[in-house]
Amino acid sequence: MGAGEPSRASGTAAKSITAIWTSLAALLRRGAARIGASRALPASSHPDGRFQWTDCAEFAERLQLGSTTVIDVRGPDEFAGPPGHIPGAVNLPLQALPMRLSELQHLAERPVLLVCHTDQRSAAAAALLSTAGFRRVEVLRGGMQRWRALGLPLGRADGPEPAAAPSSLGHADR
């Protein structure tokens, strides 16, 4: 292999990234109707078994245990503004997720809960993480809209609980 030629490892990584992008694009092409249809399934299942749907009230009880990393895939303005975010959540917008997968690899075997405004972006993020080999991925059914409607705890950038910085992903211990 000469100077400037990519190694086999970088070629494999490029193929993996391409496969992830292809999977995400396919999921998004299926549209909200396909994602919405899976909401009718039991909380712990998804049609292809790649991730779980989790009820807000059930997760609120587990939140106190601190054993799950919560990743909010909304944009920074949504995360910091009303209605707020789940206390302890890390903001990593969906569009940045594919480029930041390497920062999340230490979470591949740990529980990860994804949340957005409703649950459509988090379902797309869950498909992406599952395709990348994450084994314990959950989507918060109904997203922040449902969380807020149930009156569950909120963190706000301007309130007592500071917003988690995306750089904290490398040190997530939840």
Q: Which residues are catalytic?
A: 116
* CA atoms of 54 and 139, how far apart (whole Å): 6
91 neighbors 74 (Cβ within 8 angstroms): yes
Count CB atoms within 10 A of the CB of residue 36.
13
Rounded to whole angstroms, the Cα distance separating 106 from 149 reads 33
